[in-house]
Structure 1
Amino acid sequence: MLIGVMSDSHDSMAMLAKAVRVFNENNLRYVLHAGDYTSRSAFRILGDLKAEFIGIIGNNDGEVLTTMGVGPLLLNNVPQGRIYRQPHEFTIDNKKFIMVHEHFEVDSIARSGRCDILIYGHTHKAAARTCGTTYVLNPGELCGCLHGSATVAILDTQMMEARFIGLD
């Protein structure tokens, strides 16, 4: 199964719209966001997704977090759209996922064997590697503000590899 993955959009609405277009053109069933939307404005654009959406809260998502209450934030106009506090554990295509925003515990989580796929963001650097039996993926920065290149990834859960896509 192919899954869209993004992180660190930081209110870059133009890049977010490009990402949604790329994901829709690839007919993906799921799209994941590893945090740092920055404001709820991003959710209007995410409403154009044709895929189910799963996201988590990043360290720059205070506005989003204050509106969540105790459970996940439901995105009414995104199919099955929900945003969770991190770490968020879920299963897609018989693969156990853990999604976090910050990179601080990535290696210890990966080495623990608790998941097949670990998604993270925060560093703004695209990276993919295997750690033990866990595939570890950072899609890079969607905003393109720190490293000058806006990227997303499409993850193939059968091949356990990701393809990075530049949006510039």
Structure 2
Amino acid sequence: NLPKIEKAVKFFNKRKAGFVIHAGDFVAPFAAEKLKALSCDFIGVFGNNDGEREGLSLVSQGKIQQGPLRITLAGRSILIVHDLNSINLREEDAQLVISGHSHKPHIQNEDSRLMVNPGECSGWLSRRPSIAIVDLDKLSPELVYL
């Protein structure tokens, strides 16, 4: 749903997001192309619905990669994974875990870490398009319905 992606990009730009993280299921390179309009940098992981991975990697200049990814932003350790069932969370020490796969928004504090699944931007399955924003200074999440 390209109009929803454009709406999300406008939201992030208006909120002056410092970085955008995508937890997978871009679906096609033409969808990921819309992220070039972001005013900030982004990174993402492939999801199970991302069949054209080479094209996604090319369009994103390598910013979309095989997960899980571990990064540090604003002094916070962040784990980006499409499907939580693909990892052993007990072996991870991330303060923030961003996941996708279920297409259902979910925010939870678990074992001294913040778990965020923003849902799905398109609203294709849920009929409620959603994204999330996290204040990394406070480790405070906000779920946003588009």
Q: Which residue of 1 aligns with 2:14?
A: 25
Q: Using CA pairs below 8 Å that are at least 6 residues apart, which structure has the higher relative contact order?
A: 1
1:99 has 2:88 as partner: no
Match of 1:75 among 37, 52, 60: 60
TM-score relative to the length of structure 2: 0.92
- 8 Å contact kept, 1:56–1:101: yes
- 8 Å contact kept, 1:89–1:96: yes
**In structure 1, the residue corresponding to 2:63 is in which secondary structure?**
strand
1:66 has 2:45 as partner: no
- 8 Å contact kept, 1:152–1:165: yes
Which segments of structure 1 move beyond 4 Å, counting only runs of 4 or more? none
One-letter amino acid of the counterpart of residue 79, structure 2: I
| Structure 1 unaligned spans of 5+ | 1-11
- Summarize deviations over 1:100-120 as a string: whole Å, max 9, x none: 1013146x41x3342111000
| Cα RMSD, aligned residues only | 1.8
One-letter amino acid of the counterpart of residue 104, structure 2: K
| Structure 2 unaligned spans of 5+ | none
Q: Which residue of 2 aligns with 1:16?
A: 5
1:162 has 2:141 as partner: yes
- 8 Å contact kept, 2:23–2:80: yes
TM-score relative to the length of structure 1: 0.80
Once the two structures are TM-superposed, the CA of residue 22 in structure 1 deviates from its matched residue by: 0.2
**Percent of aligned pairs with the same amino acid:** 31
In proportion to residue count, which structure has more helix?
Answer: 2
Once the two structures are TM-superposed, the CA of residue 97 in structure 1 deviates from its matched residue by: 0.7
Count of aligned residue pairs for this structure pair: 146
